[in-house]
Structure 1
Amino acid sequence: MRSSSLPPAAEAAPMDTVAERRKFVHGVSLVIRGEGIPVFLMHGIGGAASSCGALAQLLSAHGYQTFCWDAPGYGESAAPPKGLDHPDLVLDILATLNLGPAHLIGTSWGGVIATRIAAQAPEAVRSIVLADSTRGSGITRTAAERMLARVPELAAVGPEILAARRSAKLVSPSAPAWVAEAVRADMAAVRMSGFASAAAMMAQCDTTDLLPRLRIPALVLVGQDDVITGVAESKVLAENIPGAALRIIAGAGHAAVQEKPEEMSAAILAFWEGIQ
């Protein structure tokens, strides 16, 4: 499995990259890079640790220690236990590793987890970055039902066909072929246990009432061509979180974290510099 979203030529060429290592905590696989202030990166419902790899590499090269998780039931992580609370698990991982307050970066579903963590345990969070994210699928019954319907679809057709059906919508029409393929490959590797657990959380979640109560520095990033959660939803997040900044990433879709990691990292680093 690819460890990042670097282009094939870049992966083959000698590069001055930050070494990565893998660690398991509470059954969760973490890809760790660098040293410094901790940054915890959480992928979307169709992703994995590899989805955040290129962004993590860039942030680590600037002196941060990054942790990309395979959410429970994804990648190399163990299957999720029944009734898993994903925000609680992230907080347990941070406490077990004794990291102190961390920057949280969540893309799509990962951003919903980050929002709930920031509301539940602000003392554990330095800032949140919500990338192509949402308030959750619980904002309407239709959205919740649509999210839950993806689980029997996955069971019926399998991850390869599901990825073939859906992955093209995740990227901008201008995305290079190798990026589109990396996004498709991540979705084609999803496991039923992790996907079903994530879908159940999303269907139950509506963070609308949490947003105005957040007192954590927040940056909202969204691809200009995102047709999944969309620019309008990111504007709702930014407008309702006190003091939040909004940045629209040109030439990127819902998978902006993989399509435009350089632009994403530049925006995030500037945001962190401004709050230090």
Structure 2
Amino acid sequence: MPTFFDRDGVSLHYAYSSGNGTPLVFANSLGTDFRIWDDVVAGFPNHPVLRIDKRGHGLSGNGPTSIAILAEDLAALMEHLGLSGALICGVSVGGLIAQQLGHARPDLAARLVLMDTGMKIGTDAIWNERIEIAQSGGTEAMADAVMDRWFSASFKKTRQTELAGYRTMLCTISNAGYADVSRAIRDCDLSEQTPHLTQPCHVLVGGDDQATPPALNKALADAIPGASYSEVPGVGHLPCIETPDAVIAAIQSTLNA
């Protein structure tokens, strides 16, 4: 059931379902809400599952934002719900949040699935441009370009109704929220701490990802001792939408590692 959690005056929207076994916790990408995980969550009906809208996204409020703060939000909510020893699955900025949580709170983040992400994503110039667009024209002004980065050519051709829905999802994100999380990504570099992660970890990437290409994800996997790596051919930046079965399989293999 979707509900809300107060974190230092910021209302965070989340969905939690109880169950048995290892808790599964999901962290979204920039410009999306926790519904991007619907088809993945359906593959784990018996596990405790937590999904959260980060600050400025979905029904969550705006507030001071950094990758460390977003990870602290997740940690506070997990403690509130009594969750520990979880598998954290994060895509894009959600992957940065998962890495940060794994470093700061390995008691909470016992296993990691990192999707379409890196230790550092993009350049200052790229993020400054997106921040300017968000502030001046809003997410509507960047929507078509974002859809090109998010999805494969096949998805855009054959699943146009869904594409329109995810474009609408992006455009519902507050301009301030989009800009704040963009700044958090711009200012985040985990290349010093991520190689010290010791949890079982799997890195998965869409083979046609334009936003965080396979090479960036392979470098991430190579930096984490013992991490496994896989690419999903013909898939873009959000495998949880395009090929949820591949994400389910990656989570299951990491649970069994």
Residue number among 173, 193, 199 corresponding to 1:216 in the alignment: 199
* Amino acid in structure 2 at the alignment position of 1:253: G
Q: Which residue of 1 aligns with 2:146?
A: 166
* Amino acid in structure 1 at the alignment position of 2:132: P
What displacement does 1:151 show? Answer: 1.5
Contact 2:88 2:109 in 1 (8 A): yes
Q: Which residue of 2 aligns with 1:53?
A: 38
Partner Cα separation in structure 2 for residue 255 and residue 185 of structure 1: 16
* Amino acid in structure 2 at the alignment position of 1:165: A
Report whether the alignment pairs 1:207 with 2:154: no
Q: Which residue of 1 aligns with 2:17?
A: 33
User: Which whole-Å deviations, capped at 9, do the CAs of 1:68-124 have from their partners, x for residues lacking one?
Assistant: 111111111121246771111111111111112211111000000110111111111
Report whether the alignment pairs 1:264 with 2:247: yes
Helix, strand or coil at the partner of 1:67: strand
Partner Cα separation in structure 2 for residue 137 and residue 212 of structure 1: 16
Partner Cα separation in structure 2 for residue 78 and residue 250 of structure 1: 36
Contact 1:168 1:180 in 2 (8 A): no
Contact 2:55 2:65 in 1 (8 A): no
Residue number among 18, 27, 30 corresponding to 1:42 in the alignment: 27
Of residues 73-82 and 86-95 in structure 1, the stretch that sits farther from structure 2 once superposed is: 73-82
Partner Cα separation in structure 1 for residue 196 and residue 65 of structure 2: 29
Residue number among 175, 178, 181 corresponding to 2:161 in the alignment: 178
Report whether the alignment pairs 1:132 with 2:113: no
User: Which whole-Å deviations, capped at 9, do the CAs of 1:32-70 have from their partners, x for residues lacking one?
Assistant: 2352232111111121111222212222x2x21211111
Contact 2:103 2:197 in 1 (8 A): yes
Matching of residues 1-276 of structure 1 within 5 Å = 21-26=1-6, 27-36=11-20, 37-59=22-44, 61=45, 63-81=46-64, 85-137=69-121, 143-175=123-155, 176-273=159-256, 275=257
Q: CA RMSD in A?
A: 1.7
| Count of aligned residue pairs for this structure pair | 248
Contact 1:42 1:107 in 2 (8 A): yes
What displacement does 1:148 show? Answer: 2.5
Helix, strand or coil at the partner of 1:28: strand
* Amino acid in structure 1 at the alignment position of 2:129: A
Contact 1:71 1:194 in 2 (8 A): no
Structure 1: segments with no counterpart, 5+ residues: 1-20
Partner Cα separation in structure 2 for residue 54 and residue 48 of structure 1: 14
What displacement does 1:221 show? Answer: 0.6
